[in-house]
Amino acid sequence: MKPTNDCFLRALKREKTDFTPVWLMRQAGRYLPEYCETRAKAGSFMGLAKNPDYATEVTLQPIDRYGIDAAILFSDILTVPDAMGLGLDFVPGQGPVFAKPVQSEEAVNNLYVPDPNEELQYVMDAVVSIRKALDNRVPLIGFSGSPFTLACYMVEGRGSRDFRMVKEMMFRRPDLFERVLDINAKAVTAYLNAQIAAGAQAVQIFDTWGGMLADGDFQRFSLKYMKQVLDGLIRENEGDVVPSIIFTKGGGEWLEDMAATGASAVGLDWSVNMSRARALIGEKVAIQGNMDPFALFGDEVAIRNAARRVMDAFGPVGTAGHVFNLGHGINQFTPIENVQILVDEVHSYSRQFH
């Protein structure tokens, strides 16, 4: 059954819409007091992510508060390597840490594709629960990290400023690194397909670290494996197309390459000129983005003007194929009332032209 508000899905299919749909990366997060309350009840981030009831609760919080046009499954990109047995923990002050980083040939050989309906059943349970709670108000987005981004954390064992060990493996043992990427691509494909089967109505691949690669290396080590995932995805479910979005932070150099992968939409970070992006790829795919998340720290006039600049740059406002979003995740210190200003402005300004 189609959502009552299916504007987001229609925009991804580059169909005409009544207004420009908006959702925000990391829209269920620490800037929301109700999220912090639920997380406190859960006891930890993974306690939140692995409990379908809590995951449902926080997924719906920004929908209920702001009237956003799409919900995104509350989870984490590192659930996949965690399901491979690498031992994920979120350490205060350090972030995600793996007990068993993948830093040897033996560790690579021990990697396997987890069964999403076994090791990741809690995610599928959350998808089913969220769809039921949404009651077809808006679509649900499923997601995963890209094979390359997952590999960055798996090899380093944690976040990093320069990902030295990743690049060392990439240049010294590209055969080994590509084995990791191939396993990750198979795992991400299975994971996203299971989310779709459980009820996700669109999916996004987050390539958070692809932008740190050189030209040529990006195509070889990141884009190739995102395309492998896209080629293996379920394209239709519940009688409708399941659109896909790829987002590479720092990927403005490769928009045409990204648009040629078969994705329905390409996400832009805030550094990309929207007008140029539209001219390059806007007739091939939908475009998602791309306001600077820190524009939400401005006053009301500044926020409204920033939103209009993005829509005008895509322009003419009212043209099909734009999903409004931030150029990266919403900051945890964002004033909650400013998000409502943004959502209202996107809806009201775009309705004049659609």
Give me the DSSP letters along 78-145: THHHIIIII-EEEETTTEEEESS---SHHHHHT-----TTTTTHHHHHHHHHHHHHHTTSS-EEEEEE
The pLDDT of residue 161 is 82
**Are the CB atoms for 170 and 217 separated by under 8 Å?**
yes
> What's the pLDDT score for residue 162?
87
Mutual orientation of helices 336-351 and 300-314 as an angle, nearest 10°? 40
pLDDT at site 352: 86
Give the pLDDT confidence score for residue 2 in this predicted structure.
85
What is the identity of the amino acid at 107?
A
Angstrom distance (rounded) from CA 313 to CA 272: 11
What single DSSP character describes residue 202? Answer: E
Residues pairing with 291 in the sheet:
326
**240-241 and 236-237 as β-strands: parallel, antiparallel, unpaired?**
antiparallel
Query: And the tokens for 231?
Result: 């080629």
| Dist CA 231 CA 225 (whole Å) | 10
Coil, strand or helix: which one is 213?
coil
Task: Please give the torsion angle defined by the CA atoms of residues 134, 137, 139 and 144, in that order, rounded to the nearest 10 degrees.
Answer: -30
Q: How far apart are CA 56 and CA 74, in angstroms?
A: 7
Per-residue pLDDT of the chain (354 residues; tens, 9 = 90+): 789 999 999 999 999 999 999 999 999 999 999 999 999 999 888 899 999 999 999 999 999 999 999 999 999 999 999 999 998 888 777 788 899 999 999 999 999 999 999 999 999 999 999 999 999 999 999 999 999 999 999 999 888 888 999 999 999 999 999 999 999 999 999 999 999 999 999 999 999 999 999 999 999 999 999 999 999 999 999 899 999 999 999 999 999 999 999 999 999 999 999 999 999 999 999 999 999 999 999 999 999 999 999 999 998 766 789 999 999 999 999 999 999 999 999 999 999 876
Which residues are catalytic, by number?
26, 30, 39, 76, 153
Please return the burial class of 45, using the count of CB atoms within 10 Å of its CB with bins 0-12, 13-18 and 19+.
middle
Query: What per-residue confidence (pLDDT) applies to 188?
Result: 98
Residue the block writes with tokens 């007739």: 283
The pLDDT of residue 354 is 60
Give the orientation angle of helix 274-281 with respect to helix 300-314, to 10 degrees. 20
Are 223 and 213 in contact by the 8 Å Cβ rule? The answer is no
Contact (Cβ atoms closer than 8 angstroms) between residue 269 and residue 290? yes
Relative to beta strand 71-72, strand 202-207 is unpaired
What is the structure's pLDDT at 330?
Answer: 97
pLDDT of 148 reads: 98
Which residue shows structure tokens 């992968």? Answer: 261
Q: Is the peptide bond before 290 cis (omega within 30 degrees of 0)?
A: yes
Quote the pLDDT of residue 353.
72
